Amino acid sequence: MSIDMSQFYQTFFEESFEGLDVMESGLLGLDVGAADAETVNTIFRAAHSIKGGSGTFGFTSVADFTHVMETLLDEMRDGSRMVTTEAVDLLLKSVDVLREMLTAVQSESDIDVEHVSSIQKKLEVLLHGESTDAEADAESEQSISEDSGASSWQISFKPLDYLLKTGNDPVRIFKELSLLGEYEVECQMDNLPLFADIDPESCYLFWDIKLSGEIKKEQIEEVFEWVDEDCELNIELNGSSEDESVTEELKPVVEELKEVAPVAVETSANVTEPTKKTEPANETSLSIASTQEKVKPSTTKKAVSTDSGSIRVSIDKVDALINMVGELVITQSMLGQLGERVDEDSLEKLQDGLAQLERNTRELQENVMRIRMLPISFAFQRFPRMVRDLSGKLGKDIELRLLGEQTELDKTVMEKIGDPLVHLVRNSIDHGIEMPDDREAAGKPRTGVVELNAFHQGGNIVIEITDDGKGIDRDVVFSKAVEKGLVSENDNLTDEQVYDLIFAPGFSTAKEVSDVSGRGVGMDVVKRNIRELGGNIEIVSAKGEGSKITIRLPLTLAILDGQLIRVGGDTYIVPLVSIIESLQVKAAQVNAIAGQAELYKLRDEYIPVVRLHNVFDLKADSEVLTDGLIVVVEGDGQRAGLFVDDLMGQQQVVIKSLETNYRPVDGVSGATILGDGTVALILDITGLIKLSQQERIEAA
């Protein structure tokens, strides 16, 4: 009976990447010289887990590289090596290399062997110091002559009873030993209980092994390294060297192990770290994986999405969901009984039951949505390393402050907001924070501060990126915009409008182009990505004091707060986040331009009127503006007034993809099913404004 190890690949990769994040975070927090022992131990354990998992799944290149890192960390852990800046920098680079290797293995693409070899050589030099090739060869020959030759090794391997529960398999260990040389195994069954008392997940056997060949002790120790804490192990040099294979007497026992071990492996599938020792305990998290995204062993290349295919869900969220389903079942049972005998007396109970069903459904919806909610710390965790690297590269002293890390938002939103946040933080560091001498001359501390803060506000999540740098020079931005033809010198713009010009395509005030920023690529993409998420972004700045960039996003992309509007006999939904206000039309404030465009004067601003019945070719109740309503909306920095027949109320709607179920439609972002079973289209405000502009141009 063989086991398909590929079913555990997804879990291994997810936990390995989490381990790399733990290592990076720990390394960034290490104090040079007097490092905290527990922090070093945490980093070591993460490396140890990745190494062990890699070895188990046959990713030898990853395991070999991690072994060198682990050795260096082990010396720091036992106090024989001081923590230095050089060592921390090299280990951080090694974490990057390891992440690249795991990504390559996951996507079944080629590993950059040259880069890996370069970093591994630097690790070995740091470990052993500089030595010539001749010295290395001499040391190697001396080691072989001392540890191998014509002698053999005697190994006593006695697993602890829980070994199989950790996912480790003695048969795999024997297989690795067979690659080193000839071996003979004698199985000891003194601890084997009566058949009726056997626990299939416990290990009762132990083995005496004779291994022959030109083998170093370190090679043997490495085979047993992943189980060294889960067994009693003794390795001694033996005088004799017999060339014998596994005895016929042992073969039935090995065959029996092949049957027993896979059961143990399958049983351990829910262990948080595969193949790692775990004591019996209550699970504190649940991993929900998409089976379609699991890596399958194949000769063909497979594209792997950068988005994670699973969510770690705390048990309390799962319990709440289960309890809510229980309440729903009770309500359904009650309504079922009432349905059997509907009369005047049971009408009130039926109404109460329906009200309870509505409450249960709403709570169930909220609990289900909570499963997709993750703390924003998952998005913030990349920034300590990035700020450290950039501050060193630019010669600036920067302190990063992270606030509101436990604020939760939808997993999909978090994955899509990561890159925009990187752009904004890099700009704050490069453009905002001054050089230490300049800050000191301006009466500021030499160390600049960049702060990321996240919090809930209404139905949205707000993310603020604040720095205490030099701020944005309004005049410089305006002059650059005039130079690029974005605005006219005579335009009277507010500070908000001037700062919004920064998000124009190709706009940059950097005097020199660098690999940090200054190419004018990125800020327009940032705004577009945030708009696509249904959010908005704004900048507030004071020259010489600093800047604050505020991003507002919906908590989830699956549910939308919308305003229902009616145009003729059709119902549409306008996202509440896009609505500024609604008003009754006054004829005196309507203006026309050459008979083509209608403008409505809203206080001191003229906004174009978009007649939805013309855009969607519908028959409206009336085409006279004063007979209907104007819904003032904003999309991508532009305002417009939607002419509608009536407002019908607000409600949360579940978004269905129109592109997936039908095809893309200009001016429409999705659809939903209303309470009466009819389908309502969700308007894409930005697309709708552009569509209206295009129609006016064509008409002209």
CATH classification at residue 74: 1.20.120.160
- The answer to whether residues 124 and 183 belong to one domain is no
Question: What letter does residue 457 receive in the DSSP assignment?
Answer: E
For position 272, what pLDDT does the model report? 33
Q: Are 273 and 15 in contact (CB under 8 A)?
A: yes
- The answer to whether residues 154 and 116 belong to one domain is no
Is the pLDDT at 518 greater than 60, yes or no?
no
| Residue 194 belongs to domain spanning | 146-270
- The answer to whether residues 501 and 636 belong to one domain is no
Among residues 554, 575, 597, the one where a domain terminates is 554
Other CB atoms closer than 10 Å to residue 9's CB: what's the count? 20
The per-residue DSSP string of 62-130 comes to: HHHHHHHHHHHHHHHHTTSS---HHHHHHHHHHHHHHHHHHHHHHTT----HHHHHHHHHHHHHHHH--
Nearest residue to 699 (alpha-carbon basis) of 594, 578, 561, 591: 594
In a domain, 103, yes or no: yes
Q: Are 318 and 284 in contact (CB under 8 A)?
A: no
Q: Match 């301006």 to its residue by tokens.
A: 442
Q: Which of 225-229, 369-373, 439-443 has the largest mean confidence? A: 439-443
481-502 pLDDT per residue, tens: 888 888 888 888 888 888 888 8
Q: Match 């630097």 to its residue by tokens.
A: 122
- The answer to whether residues 531 and 400 belong to one domain is yes
96-142 pLDDT per residue, tens: 999 999 999 888 888 888 899 999 999 988 888 754 444 444 444 44
- The answer to whether residues 685 and 651 belong to one domain is yes
| Phi-psi group of 58: left, alpha or beta (phi > 0 → left; psi -120 to 50 → alpha; rest → beta) | left
> Based on the structure, what is the number of domains in the chain?
5
- The answer to whether residues 15 and 126 belong to one domain is yes
Among residues 371, 388, 411, the one where a domain terminates is 371
For position 510, what pLDDT does the model report? 61
CATH classification at residue 386: 3.30.565.10
- The answer to whether residues 389 and 517 belong to one domain is yes
Is the pLDDT at 172 greater than 50, yes or no?
yes
- The answer to whether residues 103 and 170 belong to one domain is no
Nearest residue to 452 (alpha-carbon basis) of 381, 528, 391, 523: 381
For position 441, what pLDDT does the model report? 92
Is the pLDDT at 280 greater than 50, yes or no?
no
Residue 165 or 620, more confident: 620
In a domain, 470, yes or no: yes
CATH classification at residue 628: 2.40.50.180
Q: Which residues pair with 182 in a beta bridge?
A: 212
In a domain, 460, yes or no: yes
In a domain, 689, yes or no: yes
In a domain, 178, yes or no: yes
Residue 391 or 693, more confident: 391
Segment 660-680 shows an average pLDDT of 83
Which residues are designated catalytic? Answer: 48, 70, 427
Segment 294-322 shows an average pLDDT of 58
Decide: helix, strand or coil at residue 153. strand
| Phi-psi group of 129: left, alpha or beta (phi > 0 → left; psi -120 to 50 → alpha; rest → beta) | left
Residue 149 or 536, more confident: 536
- The answer to whether residues 655 and 571 belong to one domain is yes
In a domain, 296, yes or no: no
CATH classification at residue 168: 3.30.70
Among residues 538, 554, 570, the one where a domain terminates is 554
23-46 pLDDT per residue, tens: 998 888 888 877 778 888 888 888
Is the pLDDT at 549 greater than 50, yes or no?
yes
233-262 pLDDT per residue, tens: 888 887 543 334 444 444 454 454 444 444
Segment 572-597 shows an average pLDDT of 82
In a domain, 266, yes or no: yes
Is the pLDDT at 147 greater than 50, yes or no?
no
Question: What letter does residue 275 receive in the DSSP assignment?
Answer: T
Who's near 12: CB < 8 A, 6+ residues apart?
Answer: 53, 57, 274
- The answer to whether residues 415 and 549 belong to one domain is yes
- The answer to whether residues 22 and 9 belong to one domain is yes
Decide: helix, strand or coil at residue 682. strand
Segment 583-606 shows an average pLDDT of 80
- The answer to whether residues 446 and 326 belong to one domain is no
In a domain, 284, yes or no: no
Per cent of the chain over pLDDT 70 is 82
- What does the mean pLDDT of the chain come to? 78
